[in-house]
Every structure is written in structure tokens, then in C-alpha cells.
Amino acid sequence: MLTVHHLGKSQSERIVWLCEELAIPYELKRYTRDPATMLAPPDYKALHPMCTAPVITDTGIALAESGAIVEYVIAKYGNGRLALTPDHPDFAQFLHWFHFANGTLQAQMGRNMILNRLNLAADNPMLAATRARVDRAFDLVDARVRDARYLAGDEFTSADIMIGFSLTTMRYFLPYDLGRCPNVRAYIGRIAERPAYRRAMAKGDPGMALLLT
């Protein structure tokens, strides 16, 4: 049985959402962050040597890294759904945005979050450069979803699942004004209307206010 180990307010929400979109059987185990440190509890950290979310267990293996988990679940249980093949005209866009989600946007937001906690001077060049990179990443997403309904094109794919956390829940850790990105706001509205997204968030983080605007 595929088991999704979900740490509240974390990237593991992607995996819950993926399973709901695919309508596959899975077991959901929820874990609560330490209220003082906001870190994962010891039983979550014990799941994988990296001590990070997400983690799945399946047929004797424990797998970390959300991108790897998404690809694993789609390959093993997806029957070709939510991923584009090399012969699809939007294959390159799918690959780009699937990896952009964690490789660029989430990474830059994470660096900015850490720098913000150091109480650096507002004119610190490293802080200014990191904030500018976050803005450029959001601008790129905004331009893409101005011209396309979803990241890969007309079709909803796992690339949209990958980026959803950074545009929404990650803003609990790094507040970001989406007023400068009207197309991102409209795009969040589109993905948030999906019944699978609503089910996933209700199951994984019940009671959490969703940052959809």
C-alpha cells in the first residue's frame, strides 16, 4: 500500500493532491510540526535520512524529494495521466515548468525566507539580489499563465501540482504580495477550483486557511 506521510504546511501537500487527482488508493498519515520550532517531529524525521518532507513508503521502500515522488507515483500508478510524453507538442514546456517549481521558484523563496530571518539591513546586497530573483521567478510564472491556461499549455499536469505549494502555502513562510501578479492570482483560482485540490487540502491540512489570493 502506498503511504503518504504528510507534514502539515509542507511540500508533501503535493503528493496528497497528486493521489487525489489520480484517484488511486493510498494511506494518509498526518504529522504535526513542533509548535515551538515549526520543524518536523522526531517520528517524521525518522522516516528518511534527510529528515525532510515529503516522504512516501511503498512496498518496502521509503522515497523522499517531491519531484521524484511525483514521477514515481505517476510512473507506477498513473497510467500515463498528468505527464506529457516526448511526442506531445507541449513536452518541453511541461519539463521546464515541472523542474522550475522546485529548481528555481521554491529554491529562491527558501533562500529569501532564511535571509529574512537574519534581520539584515534593508540595503544588504545579498538580500536585495535574492528578493529580485524571487520577483523574476514570479514574473516568469505570471507571463506564462497569462498566455496559457496551465503551465504546460491547455492541459493540467503534474507541473501545476509541483508549483501549487510555492504559490500558496509557502507564503505562510515567505509572505508575498500577489497584487503585482494578476495572472498568477487567476491561475491559483483555476487550480483551487479543482475538486481533487479541495479534497487534498481538507484531508492533509484540515482547518488551515488556504492562501489563494
Task: Calculate ∠ Cα 97-85-151, nearest 5°.
Answer: 25
107 CB neighbour count, 10 Å cutoff: 16
Do 72 and 96 lie in a common domain? no
CB 136 within 8 A of CB 109: no
Residues 65 and 115 occupy one common structural domain: no
**pLDDT tens readout for residues 148-186:** 999 999 999 999 999 999 999 999 999 999 999 999 999
pLDDT digits over 66-113, tens only?
999 999 999 999 998 999 999 999 999 999 999 999 999 999 999 999
Report residue 127's pLDDT band, with 50, 70 and 90 as the boundaries: confident
CATH of the domain at 55: 3.40.30.10
Contact 14, 54 (CB under 8 A): yes
Asked if residue 104 belongs to a domain, the reply is yes
Task: Supply the range of the domain harboring residue 154.
Answer: 91-197
Residues 134 and 111 in one domain: yes
Of 164, 172, 187, 207, the closest CA to residue 17 belongs to: 164
Residue 212 within a domain: no
